Chains A and B, each alone.
Chain A
Amino acid sequence: MTTQTDTERELACMIVEVLNLSTVTADSLIAEAPLFGDGLGLDSIDALEIAVAIAQRYGVQLRAEDEATKRVFANLRSLALHVDANRVTLAGS
């Protein structure tokens, strides 16, 4: 198991919660493991739900038109780096 950063830990909790991954615990998500396909096995509808949850929590709107976004969603680490780079402080949070 690799060490998760704070944001990775938050996102891991969010993913487990939003997708109700009852067989997975947040701290067991490996930051470099793929979220889709052979990794956590998430699908495009999961991606949509994660994107909405990230928008609601961090004010970061994910997009999908280019390779850069595919890299963002590659794994927990890339997702966390993207969120940290783009997050806005939401009022009251």
Chain B
Amino acid sequence: MHPRDSGHQPLVTFKDPRLLARASGDVIAISKGRPVTVAEFLAQVGGQALALPNAGAIINICEDRYRFLVGFAAALTRGLATLLPPNPLDETVLAIHRNWAGSCVLTDVPGRRLDAPVVLTDASATGPAANTEIPGSTLAAVVFTSGTTGSSVPQRKSWQALVRSTEINLQCYFPAGLGKFTVVSTVPAQHMYGLETTVLSALQGPATMHDGRPFYPANVAATLQNVSGPCVLVSTPVHLRALVASGLGFPRLARILSATAPLEAGLAASLEAMCGCEVVEIYGCSEVGSMAWRRTVLNERYRLFEGFQARNHTDATVISAAHLEAPVPLPDTLELGEDGSFLLVGRDSDLVKIGGKRTSLVDVTRLIMSIPGVDDAVAFRVPGVAGSTRLAALVVSGSLDGSAVRSALRPVLDPVFIPRPILMVPGLPRAASGKLPNDAVLRLFNASNAVGAGSD
């Protein structure tokens, strides 16, 4: 039973959303192989809350997803924001710490030494049941984006906004009538997509969170085999590709969710056959969170979640929803249909104009990716070339060299857009989420260019 009012009243009169929208006997998580009820969870949240400082913010870098959940909830009950670093590297964590007065680091790794206050989680600590009435205006989470354009910008999420968006998300994440199910994910809880699908879905929805973050296909298979009852796998194209290539057997699943990069339709079809379930792609960005979906094998077009509206302005596609404080310009260009569906056309900053012609980096990248033998690729601008837009490409292939890629592009791409140079590289510097930070691409390009690696 949902404890909140429905949407018959103006937003301002909503009751403050509770920490949990589930019964005390529900199993909220599987931790170390054991089910954890909501009542047990709340006692642990109480224990964790006692160990947190009175003010400041919590940089939660817990690797164990359940410990992350306990830490996140404890911070909320104390009115402390959780800061979500894009990776757990010392420098990333310390940079956030330096920018947030009074912030401390919450980790589940004993002995983690940082030049910042560190709180180590204690799985055995319990305390008085915490206050679960959370003022909606509480700054609940700050996500630091690692997008392909520009540098890191903090995205502030109020508790009210997270709860409202989770209500919408849950309708599309999980098929109706699934009953009780467990969510297993390869995505870190610190990523917006991981936070929404694995953490908020457990607090506000019906999901049982699995505490693991299986990495290799054998880990994913073993984790899924050990879950009893229906299971939803939340992952990314990089991991899902490895699962199919591994040759391992996988159990039937209730559903697979994929996000962070487009999934090839052929791969989606293989996954659907392998796991006997629907593969659903989620589209979102850290500024907004999840906002649209498609079943890849059936639709090229995404459909917006209920309550979202998209409009094309001259310089950006703008998304609005009741829970967003203001309309948000998207980093991607959407080709909107009259029925509210859309195609992902490209990233705004990816628009390339050369000699009066225009294309997008996404399109050039897609063309390179479509060449048989190409495993991964990215086309990008070479900065610092005054007065002209030069494209370059980094390409991953086991069988092709730069000139072969160039030959394959010549028939399908206007010569002005064919990247030069095309550098063959062993892999692209994708973040764990699958994203490809622009600065990492340029670093790899400069390094590869300097040694003339596999250049055409």
Contacts and interface: CB of A to CB of B under 8 A. Distances in A.
Contact of B429 (A43, A63, A65): A43
Interface string B392-403: 000011100000
A52 B247 CA distance: 8
Interface stretch (B19-27, B121-129, B419-427): B419-427
A28 interface: no
Contacts of B214: 64-65
B238 to A, nearest CB: 6
Contact of B216 (A23, A43, A46, A61): A61
A55 B217 CA distance: 10
Interface stretch (A4-12, A13-21, A76-84): A13-21
Contact of B453 (A23, A43, A45, A63): A23
A32 interface: no
Nearest to A20: B426
Interface string B236-269: 0011001001111000000000000000000000
Interface string B200-228: 00000000000010111111001000000
Interface in A16-71: 17-23, 42-49, 51-52, 55-56, 61-65
B215 A64 contact: yes
A21 B216 CA distance: 22
A51 B398 contact: no
Q: How large is the interface on A (under 10, 10 to 19, 20 to 34, 35 or more residues)?
A: 20 to 34
B216 A62 contact: yes
Interface residues of B, number: 29
A19 B218 contact: no
B405 to A, nearest CB: 12
Given A44-B432, A56-B246, 19 more contacts: A18-B398, A20-B426, A21-B426, A22-B426, A22-B453, A43-B427, A44-B215, A45-B238, A45-B427, A45-B430, A46-B426, A48-B215, A48-B238, A52-B242, A55-B248, A56-B247, A63-B222, A65-B214, A65-B219
Contacts of B426: 19-22, 46
17 contacts: A19-B426, A20-B396, A20-B424, A44-B215, A44-B432, A46-B427, A48-B215, A48-B239, A51-B218, A52-B246, A61-B246, A62-B218, A63-B218, A64-B214, A64-B215, A64-B216, A64-B219
A2 B396 CA distance: 29
A19 B454 CA distance: 13
Interface of A: 17-23, 42-49, 51-52, 55-56, 61-65
B101 interface: no
A46 B245 CA distance: 14
B451 interface: yes
Nearest to B223: A65
Closest 10 CB pairs of A and B: A61-B218, A19-B426, A22-B454, A64-B215, A52-B245, A22-B453, A21-B426, A20-B426, A51-B216, A48-B242
Nearest to A16: B426
Contacts of B239: 48
Contacts of A22: 424-426, 453-454
B235 to A, nearest CB: 12
B245 to A, nearest CB: 5
A2 B247 CA distance: 34
A47 B219 CA distance: 13
B22 to A, nearest CB: 29
A40 to B, nearest CB: 9
A28 B217 CA distance: 29
